[in-house]
Amino acid sequence: MTRFDSAKAIYARFGVDVEAALTAAADTAISIHCWQGDDVVGFDNPDGGAGNGIQTTGNYPGRARNFEELKADLLQALALIPGKKRINLHACYAVFGDGEWVDRNRLEYKHFAPWVAFAKEHHLGIDFNPTVFSHPMMKDGLSLSSPDEQVRRFWIEHCIACRRIAQRIGEELGDRVLNNVWIPDGYKDTPADRLGPRLRLKDSLDEIFAEQLPNVIDSVESKVFAVGVESYTVGSNEFYMSYAATHPGVYNLLDNGHYHPTEVVSDKIPALLPFFDVIPLHVTRGVRWDSDHVVVLDDELKEIMKEIVRNDALGKVRIGLDFFDASINRVAAWVIGTRNAQKALLMALLQPHTMLKQLQDNGDFTRRLMLLEECKTLPFGDVWEEYCRRQGVPTDERWYDSVMNYEATVLTQR
Ligand code: RNT
Ligand code: ZN
C-alpha cells in the first residue's frame, strides 16, 4: 500500500473523497500576479521605479527588466506550481514596439496582445488592473478623488481604457476578465474634508463603469491604511462595499492585508456570499498593518480557503495573489506563495465539512472542536505529494534546486 493509498483510507473514515478533492483543486484557477517578478516597476517607466502610492523594499539581484525577462521568470515559476493558473497583469506592463510609448490614458489592446499570445500558448487565463500609481499624474497623493479636474480626468480615461482592454482580452480568450481598480488616494495627516474626496471618487467610478462590457468583471479594492497615508484612505471598506452593493456588476475586492490586524477576510467571505455572486480576492500576508508579504501556510490562509470550499463558493470567489518581496529570490517568492495557496486550497477540500456542519447544527460543540482539531493532523502531505506528481511538478522542496540553478545561470547575469 502506498502512502497515498493509506492517506485516502484515513480520509475516507471522515467521509472525505480524496479523488474528488484532487479534481476540484486541479479545476480551480489561481490568478498569479505578474508584479512579483519586477518589484511592481512595469515597462512603461522602467527608470522611475515603483512609487507614488506603492512601495517595494529590497534589492535582491535579477529583477526582470522587460517583457522577455518577465515571461521567462514567470515560466520558470509556473513550471514548479501545480494547478490551473491565470496571470494577473497591470496596465504598466504594456508591451511597446521599438521607440513606441503612449501615456496610460491612451493605452490600447494592441499593447497587451503579446501577453494574450503568451497566455494562449501556455493555457493561462488573464486578469487585469489599471495602474494608478508610479506616475507623475498622481497629484498630492490623489488620482480619481483629486480636486484637480485634469488629474481626475486623466485617471478616469486610464480606467476606461483598461476596461476596454480587459474586454478585448476576454473576447480573445473566450473568458471573463477581472478588472480591478485600486487607487492609493489618501492623506498622511488629519483631513479637513473626508467627504469631498469620496464624492469625487464616486463620480469617477460612475463614469468609469458606465459602459456595459460583458467580458469584464469589475472590482474596486478597499484599504484601511498605508505608509504615507496613515490618517485617511478615500477608498475605505465601507465606501467600496456600499458602492458595490448599489452598483450591480461591480464587486468589492477583499485583500486580506487591507484590514485591521484582528479583522479577518475569512469571516468576510460568508458575510458577502448572501449578497454577491462574485467575490474577488487578493490573497497576501499582512504583517502588523502592512500588506504584501509572501503568502505562507498560516491559519488565516487555511481559514480563507475553508470558507470558500465549505460554502460551495469555488465558482464565485476569484482567488488572486498579491505580494511582492524584493529582498529574496523573486521566482522562489512566486513559487512559495502560490504553492502555499494551492496547499491551503487542497487542505480545505480535504476537510469533513458535512460532518462538521452537522455537529454545529446539532449543538454538539464539544465534538465539533474535537473533530476540527483532529483534522489538523490528517495525512495531508501524502495527498499533496500525489497532487504534485499528477500535475507534473516537483513534489517537495527539491523544486528549490531548479530555482537556484536558474538564479546562477540567468538571474545573476542580468
Ligand atoms: C495595494 C493593493 C494592490 C496592489 C497591486 C499592485 O495595497 O493591494 O492590489 O498591491 O495592484
Ligand atoms: Zn491587493
- Provide the pLDDT for residue 9: 98
User: What does the angle CA 380 – CA 385 – CA 390 come to, to the nearest 5 degrees?
Assistant: 125
Which residues are identified as catalytic? 182, 221, 223, 255, 258, 282, 290, 292, 322
Quick one: what percent of the chain has pLDDT higher than 90? 94
Rounded to an integer, the average pLDDT of 15-38 is 98
Q: How far is the CA of 381 from the centre of ligand 2 (A)?
A: 29
Q: Is residue 187 part of a domain?
A: yes
Residue 140 makes CB contacts below 8 A (sequence gap 6+) with: 146
CA–CA gap between residue 260 and residue 269 (Å, rounded):
16
Q: Is residue 393 part of a domain?
A: no
Paired strand residues for 320 = 31, 282
Q: Whose CA is nearest to atom 2 of ligand 1?
A: 182
In the block, residue with C-alpha cell 473533530: 371
Higher local confidence (pLDDT), 208 or 261: 208
Per-residue pLDDT of 74-96, as tens digits, reads 999 999 999 999 999 999 999 99
Task: Look up the domain containing 233 and give its range.
Answer: 17-349
Q: Is residue 363 part of a domain?
A: no
Pocket test for ligand 1, best of 104, 221, 290 (most atoms within 8 A of CB): 221
Q: Is residue 285 part of a domain?
A: yes
Paired strand residues for 31 = 86, 320
Amino acid at 276: F
| Ligand 1, atom nearest to 223 Cα | 7
Amino acid at 12: A
Instruction: State if residue 35 touches ligand 1 by the CB under 6 angstroms criterion.
Output: yes
Which ligand is located closest to the Cα atom of residue 254? 2
Instruction: State if residue 221 touches ligand 1 by the CB under 6 angstroms criterion.
Output: yes
Average pLDDT, the chain: 97
Query: Structurally, how many domains does the chain consist of?
Result: 1
Q: Is residue 405 part of a domain?
A: no
Residue 220: pLDDT band (50, 70, 90) is very high
Q: Is residue 323 part of a domain?
A: yes
Instruction: State if residue 339 touches ligand 1 by the CB under 6 angstroms criterion.
Output: no
- Provide the pLDDT for residue 288: 84
Residue 44 near residue 137, CB atoms below 8 Å: no
Q: Is residue 383 part of a domain?
A: no
| Nearest CA among 27, 291, 64 for reference residue 182 | 291
Task: Name the pairing type of β-strands 279-283 and 250-255.
Answer: parallel
Q: Write out the three cell numbers for 123.
A: 493555457
Per-residue pLDDT of 144-175, as tens digits, reads 999 999 999 999 999 999 999 999 999 999 99
| Nearest CA among 106, 108, 111 for reference residue 94 | 111
Indicate which CATH number applies to the domain containing 182: 3.20.20.150
Inform me whether the pLDDT recorded for 46 exceeds 80: no
Per-residue pLDDT of 87-123, as tens digits, reads 999 999 999 999 999 999 999 999 999 999 999 999 9
Q: Is residue 7 part of a domain?
A: no
| Nearest CA among 228, 208, 225, 224 for reference residue 216 | 208
- Provide the pLDDT for residue 54: 86
In three-state secondary structure terms, 240 is helix
Residue 406 near residue 77, CB atoms below 8 Å: no
Amino acid at 315: G
Inform me whether the pLDDT recorded for 289 exceeds 80: no
